[in-house]
Amino acid sequence: MKNPYAVTNWVLAMLFGYFALWSGCSCILDNTGLDFATAATVMKVQNIGWSSFITYYFLFILYLTDNKRLLLNPLFIVPFLLLPFVFIFQNFTGNMLECCRNVPYGIAGTWKNAPWPHIFFGYYTAFFILSVYMLVSFRRSTGSRSEKKIADIMLWSIAAIFVIGTFFGVIMNYMGIYNPVDTNVVFLIFVGGLIYCAEKYEAFKLSSVRNADRIMDLINEGVVLLDGDGSFITANRAAIEIFGCPDVRLTEKEYGFIEQQLANAGVSSAGAEASNTELMFRDARGAERTILVSNRLTRNGNAASGRVCTIRDISGLKKAEVDLFESVKELKRSNEELENFAYVASHDLKEPLRMVMSYVQLIRKRFMDKLGQEGNDFINFASEGAQRMSELIEGLLRYSRLRKAQKDPEAVDTSAVAGIVIKAMKLSMDEKKAVVGIDGPLPVLKADRVQMEQLFQNLIGNAVKFSGKEPPRVTIRAERRGAFYEFVFRDNGIGIDMHYKERIFQLFQRLNARDEYEGTGMGLAICRKIVESYGGRIWVESEGPGKGCSFYFTMPAALRETGEK
Ligand code: ADP
């Protein structure tokens, strides 16, 4: 069976079926003036109805209250389902009723004064009392108002038949007054209650409702159902948690609290449907929460019958957002502080360095012939060191000034940038017989022109500088990749061990000795800072030392390619 709870509907249908059998036979016995022999047969059929009725009624209560402990216990359920057959059998064999006698309203049987009728009364009474007990505890434990109402109606109809039945069947009998009301007419009140529940609260759809409840209780989104007047019907577990109620069994005060919070989020009986209204409130436990409330009307035909409110708890998200905002602010501040520090330090270092350099020059000039070879070597080392320090400071200054120097972005044609850089590097390129080729059109970007030149110069410069035995061959290409252009600078130089693919983009990090290849280790760090300031990315690929390498970077494609319409 696809729906394991559909069985509830079958149980309810069987219950009505047995009652129909019981009261149908009663009608025949009461109204058709049968002979006693036929009446005896009808009574036996009637007996099938009333013997089974209480069993199926109790079974229905077990499904209604979802009592798995008894339903899934074969030691209980098998003998329990066999009980009606025992009584039917006992009646067929004549151990229960004596047939037949005329009564004012038809033909009736008389209970025998034997053990089986007593056992039968015991069975009826026991399961009836058990049903009442289960309904009362179900009413207490369910979080759903409609289930509470089903329990109420069933309990009230039981109370009614108990009072009326006792009055007609016991008190009037005891007082010797003629009782015109047949027992199963009293039972009609009880069955009426069941039918009313089925109709009004869709008890026949109990199975699908319960399945939906299970799904509802598993989802993280809170769901609250309101009726047409905006008052609470039911809520899923998530909603109950969001409102900070300690238990799924809500109190009247908690119903009111939830209704009030939803009203604060603009959910009112006359209000319009709305999506994601933000509400900050203190939940029933006093914790601060931020929720998003959406509400939709439910319709019965054309008329609005109520509302479904979905609630998303964004308290965690809100807090994370605030934390993130704070961290970004802090990061920005410390970044700026660091840049300022680097700028001030390198700027202020320049002055004393210049002094060191000029005095070293002075010493060289004045005392060159007096110092001897060793002395001159020392002076040269000091001078070289100071020169290198000056280059490093210069690089650091450039690096820390990058952001400050960034102008408002303008349209920059990168093929023109490549042309300018190649022209400026003509001397060193000719020296090495280097050829730089541009493969296909290069795009126009929205960027700072000077920085684009710096970027191209560093990458082309490195490709020419880190060449092997062959004269350098460099190709530049750009391709559109979604919202970005991807540039690649491919060379046939010394290549890179991919183990160092991250390190080379860090400040002052170099892979080669200075006497082999000049440099400060700042070029790629500057390239990375430029590219990342536009939201792009830079990386290197190489098949290994001696195999050349390709430097890739991406830049946002804000403008069309040259020549593109
Ligand atoms: P610099 O060029 O001053 O040494 P960079 O930051 O530009 O500093 O480069 C860092 C290191 O990355 C270089 O020292 C070199 O080892 C390596 N590198 C950069 N470009 C290339 C290239 N095209 N081919 C091989 N190695 C390279």
Q: Which amino acid is at 153?
A: I
Q: What is the pLDDT of residue 529?
A: 92
- Once rounded to an integer, what is the mean pLDDT over residues 241-250? 88
- Distance, in Å, from the CA atom of 265 to the CA atom of 255, rounded to the nearest integer, reads 16
pLDDT for 77 beyond 70: yes
- 520 Cβ inside 6 Å of ligand 1: yes
Q: Which mutation among 456, 510, 543, 547 tests ligand 1's pocket best, with the greatest number of atoms within 8 A of CB? A: 510
User: pLDDT for 173-190, tens place per residue?
Assistant: 667 666 665 666 677 777
Q: What is the pLDDT of residue 101?
A: 81
Give 109: exposed, middle or buried? Use CB within 10 Å, 0-12, 13-18, 19+.
buried
Contact 265, 313 (CB under 8 A): no
Q: Which mutation among 524, 538, 552 tests ligand 1's pocket best, with the greatest number of atoms within 8 A of CB? A: 524
- 542 Cβ inside 6 Å of ligand 1: no
Q: What is the pLDDT of residue 204?
A: 55
- Distance, in Å, from the CA atom of 176 to the CA atom of 314, rounded to the nearest integer, reads 72
Q: What is the pLDDT of residue 561?
A: 45
Q: What is the pTM of this model?
A: 0.52
Q: What is the pLDDT of residue 476?
A: 97
- 548 Cβ inside 6 Å of ligand 1: no
- 527 Cβ inside 6 Å of ligand 1: no
Question: Which atom of ligand 1 is closest in space to residue 548's alpha carbon?
Answer: 24
Ligand 1 centroid–CA 519 distance in Å is: 8
Q: What is the pLDDT of residue 2?
A: 45
Q: What are the DSSP E strand ranges found in 403-483?
A: 410-413, 435-439, 444-447, 473-481
Ligand 1 centroid–CA 545 distance in Å is: 12
User: pLDDT for 35-73, tens place per residue?
Assistant: 888 999 999 999 999 899 889 989 988 888 888 899 899
User: pLDDT for 351-392, tens place per residue?
Assistant: 889 999 999 999 988 988 888 888 889 999 999 889 888 888
- Once rounded to an integer, what is the mean pLDDT over residues 84-90? 93
User: pLDDT for 465-495, tens place per residue?
Assistant: 999 889 999 999 999 999 999 999 999 999 9
Q: pLDDT category, 242, cuts 50, 70, 90?
A: very high
User: pLDDT for 398-457, tens place per residue?
Assistant: 888 777 667 778 899 999 999 999 999 998 899 999 999 999 899 999 999 989 999 999
pLDDT for 562 beyond 70: no
Find the radius of gyration of the CA atoms of the chain: 46
Ligand 1 centroid–CA 478 distance in Å is: 21
Q: What is the pLDDT of residue 199?
A: 66
